[in-house]
A and B are shown apart, each in its own frame.
Chain A
Amino acid sequence: ETGVTQTPRHLVMGMTNKKSLKCEQHLGHNAMYWYKQSAKKPLELMFVYSLEERVENNSVPSRFSPECPNSSHLFLHLHTLQPEDSALYLCASSQGGIYNEQFFGPGTRLTVL
């Protein structure tokens, strides 16, 4: 595997389900990000982890719970989601620092029924 991988690629869940999204980066980076991409809207930064520590949480509802067990893996735990949470969820990683190119995974297309 190379770059940033995400699983699953597609997920359909009911509002009462609990599911998790997984991201893995094979680039040796030390910062990882979760973004939400909705139609006709800019990418929304949700969480940032730097050296496995959460350094940014952009007022995301508590039904989204991130976890970063090590510098290569990032999870997004989902529970009691709403239909408006349906979107493409993108994971990215970078070397960190003032500016570093962010490398994106292919995303998980989430549909909440």
Chain B
Amino acid sequence: QKEVEQDPGPLSVPEGAIVSLNCTYSNSAFQYFMWYRQYSRKGPELLMYTYSSGNKEDGRFTAQVDKSSKYISLFIRDSQPSDSATYLCAMSTGSSNTGKLIFGQGTTLQVKP
């Protein structure tokens, strides 16, 4: 079983739709949860970061963590064609002093005008 599972998609939605991206994980020691966005031919960039359980909102983006279910989500409201990218979830236990992250496979999102 992979430590982090993420549906690779692709996911195609019309502009303005609400997008839900999800990851499940098996290691209950994970405490730090991140979402990275990767545009074509670019490196990943941090989009959202959450510590432990709860919600975090930043503009059109909301990150949710449910540690009891080992499930994290990223919601994108009023999706735009510029949101078309691959979204990677990443997690860390915090036990490594090198900040080691475990990544999901990434979900490719296409937002059609």
A interface vs B, CB < 8 Å? Answer: 4, 31, 40-43, 45, 48, 50, 55-56, 90, 92, 94, 96-107
Contact = CB atoms under 8 A, between A and B. Distances in A.
Interface of B: 2, 4, 6, 8, 32, 34, 36, 41-46, 49, 51, 88, 90, 92, 94-106
Contacts of B8: 40
Contacts of A104: 36, 43-45
Main secondary structure of the interface of B (DSSP, over half): loop
Given A42-B102, A98-B96, A101-B34, 11 more contacts: A31-B99, A40-B8, A42-B4, A42-B6, A43-B90, A48-B98, A94-B99, A98-B92, A102-B101, A104-B36, A106-B42
B109 to A, nearest CB: 16
A97 B44 contact: no
A8 to B, nearest CB: 14
Contact of A96 (B2, B42, B98): B98
Given A50-B97, A55-B98, A98-B99, A42 B104 contact: yes
